[in-house]
Amino acid sequence: MNWKTATLVSTLYDHAVQNRALSRLGARVLWNYDITHLRAAIASQDPTALTLDIPCGGGLAVDDNPHHIAADISRHMLTRARRRTNTLIQADIYALPFGSSTFDLCLTYNGLHCLDDPAAALRELTRVLRPGGTLTGTTLVRGTNRDPLITLMRRLDIFGNPGTTADLRTWLTDAGLTAIDLTPTGAVTGFTARK
């Protein structure tokens, strides 16, 4: 799917994610995931850290904090995120318009599985992290009992090339990250790593 131009799917997705009851039900039924884990991770962010949030989608993890840069390839999603912040940038996760070692924290919640090359995206996020900086996020993974649904999403061109939890560890390690912590829950794996 071209998330840059797909407005109907992105609007429906954003509406479901922003609605607490609907997102809780959808995450549990579709992915066997308790979305309160994601909401807790978002709430625990350091508001003083210079943060890049990509893809930010409709702005679930965004707050109106000048230290929080929300970025997405989709102009439509940025328009939806604008209701939460004005610090928005249209950017491609494979070629970020920032210098190396810029951010204290990079967030990528529920986006890697939509990409054709998640490993390349993680390398680019690592590039813009300062030494000692943290990369954190969540992604859907293969290797769970939700593989048929992931295959369907790929056929519908909604998902890119999601890996397994083991693939995610390899991608993070190959990007030069350490102190990798993976938390699989249902078909979702949360991750944190340091540069």
Residue 170 sits in a domain of what CATH number? 3.40.50.150
Distinct helix (H) and strand (E) counts, the chain? 7, 7
Confidence of residue 46 (pLDDT cuts 50, 70, 90): very high
Residue 139 in any domain: the answer is yes
Residue 2 in any domain: the answer is no
Residue by residue, DSSP assigns 33-72 as --THHHHHHHHT--TTS-EEESS-TTTTT--S-TTEEEEE
Domain count, the chain: 1
Of the listed ranges 63-67, 106-110, 136-140, the least confidently predicted one is: 63-67
Nearest to 119 by CA among 174, 64, 50, 60: 174
To the nearest whole number, what is the mean pLDDT of the chain?
90
Residue 136 in any domain: the answer is yes
Q: Token pair 């508001």 is at which residue? A: 47
Residue 141 in any domain: the answer is yes
Q: Token pair 């078909």 is at which residue? A: 187
Residue 83 in any domain: the answer is yes
Of the listed ranges 12-21, 22-31, 70-79, 93-102, the least confidently predicted one is: 12-21
pTM: 0.91
Whether pLDDT at 112 is above 80: yes
Residue 102 in any domain: the answer is yes
Residue 1 in any domain: the answer is no
Domain that holds residue 32: 7-194
Residue 125 in any domain: the answer is yes
